[in-house]
Structure 1
């Protein structure tokens, strides 16, 4: 998003395309703003290229104009054409955006809503799952989400950018839920058990993300691999810390707790390889079993 009154060329072009589409459909700026539930000033900022557009918002605008996203992106415009003066629309406090589901409070860490990805990321995830990262093409991903290749590039610069965004969102959600689960525990054993329950639930309810995370780390360039690996290490370290504390308290008696901790986490991250929602075991039942397996592996001693 441009700041301090500046614009990016891509935002200016897309804004001009939105303005041209609205004019073609003979819909006023005020009417469009009412349909979308945002202020006229915000629409003006979009059309003048001063506010970036998400894929979701562009889809909403297309629906409001009775057009498709490709139809808007195919409009030929001159982004240097005179702007609509901001003073031509009433000003007021902007409408607060609705936070995405994967940025919401994770206090109820056992509850999973449907995956809330924008259409491009959803298409990329489907493509990676079906034919793998190296077999996937930007054209194929664009076709899945109804965009032109040039339209897709407005949001994501490459397949690598899409993969990084998918796994960054994945690991962010994983760590948020892990902290919420750990915070419910009253002692190291309980915190360890809650973390294992969380990992098992995540890798069943979010098995698609878990599968891509496990299979496509090799597809990252060095910088991006380091970033995602660092987030994975943070999750592992949470489990390690509770194992170390439980060993110190005499509650875990495994002679190799460090290695056992990694074995337990790996056991959970492997769930996407075999668990299916239509199988004989629910995600919750698997999580309960895995907590038992983990405690047995640690040679848990009840006080």
Structure 2
């Protein structure tokens, strides 16, 4: 049951259809989200709300608490002032990630994995990071693999750190978009959970190089960059947790430790790139079917 409403300005910065400093806060959120390249569904998952709730926030139909506003500003790489004011620098500030080489969901859907297409520098950087690790790779190594001079490489990305953060951002964006699409096909929490497990297995097999670097090189990110990628990873984890919690609430899953069980299932899927081989005995789809069985066993479904 919600507590009594507080009337101070800090608690409620944006009433429905109202504005702050002459600018509708919801419209600013929508504009900044678009500039940063986040889809409504992907950003809603990062924020931990439904797409409908985020849409209501952006159209000014629901109140925007200061805590949520601070979280939105953090995810958008700006400040609360940057969201609430009409300063152009908040819009024009570089996005937390480069958009070059961005991936989008194939028309065939989340189970379809066409060949990975990144810009030449990210393609080379990804291969070198897999081969030698981030710290074992030099900018000259990447330039050589890309067939570019070092100066030519800098026309694409400003530093090796920028290349890593771009790869990990693209990794998590693709993972979250496909996760949302897989989840949305389910009609109940158990079905949504199994679809999410299927998706995680398929992604970590078909996109194993991205998954391998994503799991092994988080520690190589600078603090600000690490914080954003960590927020996206938490959004992915929470997406699965919400379905498990709902299934437990309905009595469909009987695990006594839903949070830990979810973490075990997700970790099991994330580890796939460390052992999966394209020429192995099982296809990604066969592995996904096995992992769905393993995951359901962990959740102890009601018989």
- TM-score bin (small chain): 0.5 to 0.7
Residue 195 of structure 2 is matched in structure 1 by: 194
Which segments of structure 1 move beyond 6 Å, counting only runs of 4 or more? none
Q: Give the whole-Å Cα distance in 2 for the aligned partners of 1:101 and 1:221.
A: 21
Residue 262 of structure 2 is matched in structure 1 by: 261
Alpha-carbon RMSD across the aligned residues, in angstroms, is 1.4
Instruction: State the Cα distance separating 1:198 from its structure 2 match.
Output: 0.3
| Contact 1:107 1:180 (C-alpha < 8 Å) held by counterparts | no
Instruction: State the Cα distance separating 1:282 from its structure 2 match.
Output: 0.6
Residue 16 of structure 2 is matched in structure 1 by: none
Distance change in 2, residues 1:212/1:292 (3 Å):
same
Instruction: State the Cα distance separating 1:146 from its structure 2 match.
Output: 1.1
Instruction: State the Cα distance separating 1:104 from its structure 2 match.
Output: 3.9
Residue 214 of structure 1 is matched in structure 2 by: 215
| Contact 1:204 1:275 (C-alpha < 8 Å) held by counterparts | yes
Residue 138 of structure 2 is matched in structure 1 by: 137
Residue 171 of structure 1 is matched in structure 2 by: 172
User: 5+ residue gaps in structure 1?
Assistant: 1-98
| Contact 2:101 2:119 (C-alpha < 8 Å) held by counterparts | no
| Contact 2:121 2:153 (C-alpha < 8 Å) held by counterparts | yes
SS for the counterpart of 1:184 is coil
Q: Give the whole-Å Cα distance in 2 for the aligned partners of 1:106 and 1:266.
A: 29
SS for the counterpart of 1:127 is helix
Q: Does 1:153 align with 2:154?
A: yes
| Contact 1:189 1:242 (C-alpha < 8 Å) held by counterparts | yes
Residue 235 of structure 2 is matched in structure 1 by: 234
1:108-151 per-residue CA deviation (whole Å, 9 max, x = no partner) reads: 11110010111110000111011110010111100111111011
Residue 247 of structure 1 is matched in structure 2 by: 248
TM-score (norm 2): 0.66
Q: Give the whole-Å Cα distance in 1 for the aligned partners of 2:202 and 2:230.
A: 21
Q: How many residues align?
A: 204
Instruction: State the Cα distance separating 1:179 from its structure 2 match.
Output: 0.5
Q: Give the whole-Å Cα distance in 2 for the aligned partners of 1:297 and 1:211.
A: 24
Q: Give the whole-Å Cα distance in 2 for the aligned partners of 1:193 and 1:225.
A: 29
| Contact 1:252 1:299 (C-alpha < 8 Å) held by counterparts | yes
Instruction: State the Cα distance separating 1:154 from its structure 2 match.
Output: 1.5
More deviation in 264-273 or 100-109?
Answer: 100-109
Q: Give the whole-Å Cα distance in 2 for the aligned partners of 1:268 and 1:120.
A: 28
Q: Give the whole-Å Cα distance in 2 for the aligned partners of 1:251 and 1:115.
A: 38
| Contact 2:169 2:229 (C-alpha < 8 Å) held by counterparts | yes
Q: Give the whole-Å Cα distance in 1 for the aligned partners of 2:194 and 2:241.
A: 12
Task: Tell which structure's C-alpha radius of gyration is larger.
Answer: 1
Residue 281 of structure 2 is matched in structure 1 by: 280
Residue 91 of structure 1 is matched in structure 2 by: none
Instruction: State the Cα distance separating 1:177 from its structure 2 match.
Output: 0.4
Q: Give the whole-Å Cα distance in 2 for the aligned partners of 1:107 and 1:222.
A: 37
| Contact 1:106 1:180 (C-alpha < 8 Å) held by counterparts | no
SS for the counterpart of 2:115 is coil
Residue 36 of structure 2 is matched in structure 1 by: none
| Contact 1:107 1:177 (C-alpha < 8 Å) held by counterparts | no
